[in-house]
């Protein structure tokens, strides 16, 4: 038996292995040096992520390589998403450092949990089996549950963590149940194997569709789509802002990958079933997200509902793949979904980054009114936030416009012109609450005239973030082509 063992090809997973090794080392270093040299932990964490990015970049090629007994895949889509995840996590850490330090929250656990969450996302992105997806998802989720409760003494954070944990476990259970159905019907958990079995038509369709319902529910929960969205506003509001920033950024990329792997790569033969489910989720998310956001007075809750509506748009893109024998027909839909989620992460980082920038010890930016007169306090960062808000509203020349445009193009191409009309009408409603933030920043006098203080690296990065929102809006082609290419080479 032992002689049959073939050592797996570790090369495609070198970034993950590097990250695990470094995480273990950082764990020891942090325990040894303690609180006095926290800068060491944070610098090492950033270095690890940069190292991962280098490894992923250097080992990137357009080949699809399976390893670990077909549990793990390395393709262009996974490399592209991983690079974006590293980038988002690096930005999130740099935005968060001052905030955490000022509140005594820059514990070693933060950096380690962030690293493990990153690992979870990497595993999800590279999953070639339902089981691997589940493993990655749990690693990510457990790290995030703990991170939400990072501020132990805050009852709100603890409540949010409990809520997130209970609902998240329920969703994981649903997902697992759906996977078991798929396994029962096809006899395999490998995504390629499932697709093969479906293609041959040997599986029992009733069981499959039954399982599919649970899988779609699980995905919808992780994305935060209506009616599985209840946790999003509470967690965004309850969690410390840096953790909300983390939850609102990189995990969306992983959730997109999860949806792609399971629905498009694995269950494509059932597309007509899951497309109609996604349409319902998308329409509800866009409607409820935009309507509920109007009623919010808390900026983090407002951004939570804005996330929900954005995820609705993402689902719109995912449901627009044209079902046909040739998967290339579906290119429009999935590349626009990828582009949309990348644009969303960029905007989300900018929005939460500005909130962190304005917070200072003893003063939390919680309410929309806290943005009053930002233009007089700091014209530059008011301009950054304005760019992000108009971008989220989908106004040109900002990255969000082309993101929404490419999704609408895919939707109309799939023949759902009335869904597109519906989506733009709700974008109009959505524009209202983004404009309201601009109104507070530009039309009102500041209540609090304290100057904005922040470290140089944060100022620089937030400026780059704002510039990216504008530049990718004026020159969208590079990013659009990259997304298209990544999806094309991995389909």
Partner 1 sequence: MSSYLLSLAIWVPILGALAVFAVGNAHRLARWMALCVAILGFLVTLPLYLNFDVAEAGMQFVERRSWVPRFNIEYFLGVDGISVLFILLNSFITVLVVIAGWEVIKEKVAQYMGAFLIMSGLMNGIFSSLDAMLFYVFFEASLIPMYIIIGAWGGPNRVYAAFKFFLYTLLGSLLMLVALIWLFLSSGGSFNLLEWHQLRIEMTPQILLFLAFLAAFAVKVPMWPVHTWLPDAHVEAPTGGSVVLAAIMLKLGAYGFLRFSLPIAPDASQYLAPMMIALSLIAVIYIGFVALVQLDMKKLIAYSSISHMGFVTLGFFIFNQIGVEGALVQMISHGFISAAMFLCVGVMYDRVHSRQIADYGGVVHVMPRFAGFMVLFAMANAGLPATSGFVGEFMVILGAVKYNFWIGLLAATTLILGAAYTLWMIKRVMFGPLGNRHVAAMTDINGREFLFLATLALCVLAMGVYPFPFTEVMHASVDNLLKHVAVSKL
Among 68, 177, 210, 405, binds partner 1 (CB under 8 A): 405
442-471 residues in contact with partner 1 (CB under 8 A) are 442-443
Among 39, 363, 432, 460, binds partner 1 (CB under 8 A): 432
290-309 residues in contact with partner 1 (CB under 8 A) are none
Q: Does 160 bind partner 1 (CB under 8 A)?
A: no
Among 40, 409, 461, 488, binds partner 1 (CB under 8 A): 409
Span interacting with partner 1, options 73-81, 216-224, 277-285, 393-401, rule CB under 8 A: 393-401
Q: Does 428 bind partner 1 (CB under 8 A)?
A: yes
65 contact partners, CB below 8 Å, separation of at least 6: 9, 12, 73, 74, 75
Nearest distance from C-beta of residue 456 to partner 1, angstroms: 20
The nearer residue to partner 1, 215 or 403, going by C-beta atoms, is 403
Alpha-carbon gap, residue 120 to 102, rounded angstroms: 28
Among 184, 192, 193, 396, binds partner 1 (CB under 8 A): 396
The nearer residue to partner 1, 120 or 473, going by C-beta atoms, is 473
Q: Does 420 bind partner 1 (CB under 8 A)?
A: yes
Alpha-carbon gap, residue 348 to 27, rounded angstroms: 29
Alpha-carbon gap, residue 278 to 314, rounded angstroms: 10
Q: Does 421 bind partner 1 (CB under 8 A)?
A: yes
Among 438, 454, 458, 491, binds partner 1 (CB under 8 A): 438
Among 235, 239, 260, 480, binds partner 1 (CB under 8 A): 480
Nearest distance from C-beta of residue 22 to partner 1, angstroms: 37
As a whole number of Å, the CA-based R_g of the chain is 22
Per-position x/- string for 351-380, each x denoting binding to partner 1 as judged by CB under 8 A, each - no binding: ------------------------x---x-
Do the Cβ atoms of 332 and 410 come closer than 8 Å? yes
Nearest distance from C-beta of residue 328 to partner 1, angstroms: 15
User: Hey, which residues does 67 pair with through a beta bridge?
Assistant: 72
Q: Does 324 bind partner 1 (CB under 8 A)?
A: no
Nearest distance from C-beta of residue 454 to partner 1, angstroms: 19
Nearest distance from C-beta of residue 466 to partner 1, angstroms: 14
Q: Does 472 bind partner 1 (CB under 8 A)?
A: no
Among 408, 437, 458, 486, binds partner 1 (CB under 8 A): 408
The nearer residue to partner 1, 111 or 402, going by C-beta atoms, is 402
SS (H, E, C) the chain: CHHHCCCCCCHHHHHHHHHHHHHHHHHHHHHHHHHHHHHHHHHHHHHHHHHHHHHHHHCCCCCCEEECCCCEEECHHHHHHHHHHHHHHHHHHHHHHHHHHHCCCCCHHHHHHHHHHHHHHHHHHCECEHHHHHHHHHHHHHHHHHHHCCCCCCHHHHHHHHHHHHHHHHHHHHHHHHHHHHHHHHCCCEHHHHHHHHHHCCCCHHHHHHHHHHHHHHHHHHHCCCCCCCHHHHHHHHCCHHHHHHHHCHHHHHHHHHHHHHHHHHCHHHHHHHHHHHHHHHHHHHHHHHHHHHCCCEHHHHHHHHHHHHHHHHHHHHCCCCCCCCHHHHHHHHHHHHHHHHHHHHHHHHHHHHHHHHCECCECCCEHHHHCCHHHHCHHHHHHHHHHHHHHHCCCCCHHHHHHHHHHHHHHHCCCHHHHHHHHHHHHHHHHHHHHHHHHHHHCCCCCCCCCCCCHHHHHHHHHHHHHHHHHHHCCHHHHHHHHHHHHHHC
Q: Does 412 bind partner 1 (CB under 8 A)?
A: yes
Span interacting with partner 1, options 71-79, 144-152, 303-311, 418-426, rule CB under 8 A: 418-426
The nearer residue to partner 1, 78 or 427, going by C-beta atoms, is 427
How many residues of this chain bind partner 1 (CB under 8 A)? 33
Alpha-carbon gap, residue 198 to 459, rounded angstroms: 52
Span interacting with partner 1, options 7-15, 22-30, 77-85, 427-435, rule CB under 8 A: 427-435
Nearest distance from C-beta of residue 425 to partner 1, angstroms: 7
**């530009």: which residue's tokens?**
442
Q: Does 417 bind partner 1 (CB under 8 A)?
A: yes
The nearer residue to partner 1, 135 or 435, going by C-beta atoms, is 435
The nearer residue to partner 1, 41 or 378, going by C-beta atoms, is 378
Nearest distance from C-beta of residue 301 to partner 1, angstroms: 21
Do the Cβ atoms of 214 and 181 come closer than 8 Å? yes
Nearest distance from C-beta of residue 480 to partner 1, angstroms: 5
Among 427, 437, 454, 472, binds partner 1 (CB under 8 A): 427
Q: Does 120 bind partner 1 (CB under 8 A)?
A: no
The residues that touch partner 1, with contacts defined as CB under 8 A, are: 375, 379, 390, 395-397, 401-402, 405-406, 408-409, 412-413, 417, 420-421, 424-425, 427-428, 431-432, 435, 438-439, 442-443, 476-477, 480-481, 484
């Amino acid at each position: 038996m032992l002689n049959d063992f073939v050592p797996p090809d570790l090369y495609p997973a070198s970034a993950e292995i590097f990250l695990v090794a470094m995480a273990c080392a950082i764990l020891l270093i942090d325990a040894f040096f303690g609180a006095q040299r926290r800068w060491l932990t944070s610098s090492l964490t950033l270095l690890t992520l940069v190292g991962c990015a280098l490894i992923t970049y250097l080992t990137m090629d357009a080949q699809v390589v399976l390893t670990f007994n077909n549990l793990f895949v390395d393709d262009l889509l996974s490399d592209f998403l991983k690079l974006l995840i590293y980038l988002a996590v690096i930005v999130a850490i740099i935005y968060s450092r001052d905030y955490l330090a000022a509140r005594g929250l820059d514990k070693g656990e933060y950096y380690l949990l962030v690293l493990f969450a990153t690992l979870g996302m990497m595993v999800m992105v590279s999953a070639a089996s339902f089981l691997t997806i589940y493993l990655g998802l749990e690693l990510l989720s457990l790290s995030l549950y703990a991170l939400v409760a990072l501020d132990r003494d805050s009852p709100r954070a603890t409540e949010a963590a409990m809520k997130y944990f209970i609902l998240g476990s329920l969703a994981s259970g649903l997902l697992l149940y759906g996977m078991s159905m798929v396994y029962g019907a096809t006899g395999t958990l490998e995504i390629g194997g499932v697709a093969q079995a479906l293609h041959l038509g040997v599986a029992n369709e009733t069981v499959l569709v039954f399982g599919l319902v649970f899988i779609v529910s699980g995905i919808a929960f992780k994305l935060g789509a209506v009616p599985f969205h209840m946790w999003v506003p509470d967690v965004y509001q309850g969690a410390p802002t840096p953790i909300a920033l983390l939850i609102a950024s990189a995990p969306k990329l992983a959730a997109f990958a999860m949806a792609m792997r399971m629905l498009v790569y694995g269950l494509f033969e059932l597309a007509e079933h899951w497309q109609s489910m996604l349409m319902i989720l998308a329409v509800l998310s866009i409607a409820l997200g935009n309507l509920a956001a109007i009623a919010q007075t808390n900026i983090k809750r407002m951004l939570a509902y804005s996330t929900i509506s954005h995820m609705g748009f993402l689902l719109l893109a995912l449901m627009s793949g044209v079902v046909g024998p040739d998967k290339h027909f579906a290119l429009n839909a999935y590349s626009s979904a990828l582009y949309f989620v990348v644009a969303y992460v960029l905007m989300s980082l900018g929005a939460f980054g500005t909130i962190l920038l304005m917070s200072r010890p003893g003063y939390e930016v919680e309410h929309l009114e806290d943005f009053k007169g930002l233009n007089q306090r700091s014209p530059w960062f008011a301009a950054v936030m304005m760019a992000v808000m108009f971008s989220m509203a989908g106004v040109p020349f900002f990255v969000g416009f082309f993101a929404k445009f490419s999704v609408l193009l895919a939707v109309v191409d799939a023949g759902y012109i009335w869904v597109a009309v519906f989506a733009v009408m709700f974008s109009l409603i959505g524009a209202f609450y983004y404009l309201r933030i601009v109104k507070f920043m530009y039309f009102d006098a500041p209540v609090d005239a304290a100057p904005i203080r922040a470290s140089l690296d944060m100022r620089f990065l937030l400026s780059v973030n704002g510039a990216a929102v504008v530049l990718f809006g004026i020159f969208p082609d590079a990013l659009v082509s990259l997304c298209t290419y990544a999806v094309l080479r991995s389909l």
